[in-house]
Amino acid sequence: MSEPNLADVASKTVDHITGGIKAIADAVQKMAPRAWELAVRQQRVESTVDLVMSALGFVLSAVALVVIFRNYQRWVDRARGLAHAKNRRRYPTITPAEPTGDEDAFIVQLPCGVVAVLSVAILFSSIDSATGAVVRLSNPEYYAAKALLEAIK
């Protein structure tokens, strides 16, 4: 039995690779007529979803910030055991309870601070995502071609 030489091995390898590429090309030819249309539609759908999610994130983070800023002092006063700020102005002769200290207010300050920081991050992130979605929605053909080329790569 003789050893296969390098030329035979290379020839068989090229034949196998060529056969595989032909099989892939035949499969792609069946899908090709609609592939471009589907890729463009996919970019439109993805950008629309990004735009809707950005708007939702923007609204929710803005609402969270408004709620925190409107109620923060009242929550801190309540945690410290102080009378409500409106009642202090309305009835100045009633002395409020002595503050119990900042350690009680920390129970309110920490969650409010964390939610405020996360809301601001989500706010800026949603603005960034919305601008990207608008750009992709304005030219879906370019991004479809880019996605197809990346898939081939």
Percent of residues, the chain, with pLDDT higher than 90: 33
Mapping DSSP to helix (H, G, I), strand (E, B) and coil, where does residue 16 land? helix
Q: Is residue 147 predicted with pLDDT exceeding 70? A: yes
| pTM as predicted | 0.60
Residue pLDDT, tens place only, 93-141 = 545 555 445 556 777 788 888 999 999 999 999 999 999 999 999 999 9
pLDDT band, residue 44 (cuts 50/70/90):
very high
Model pLDDT, residue 92 = 52
Roughly how many angstroms between the first and final C-alpha of the chain, as a whole number? 42
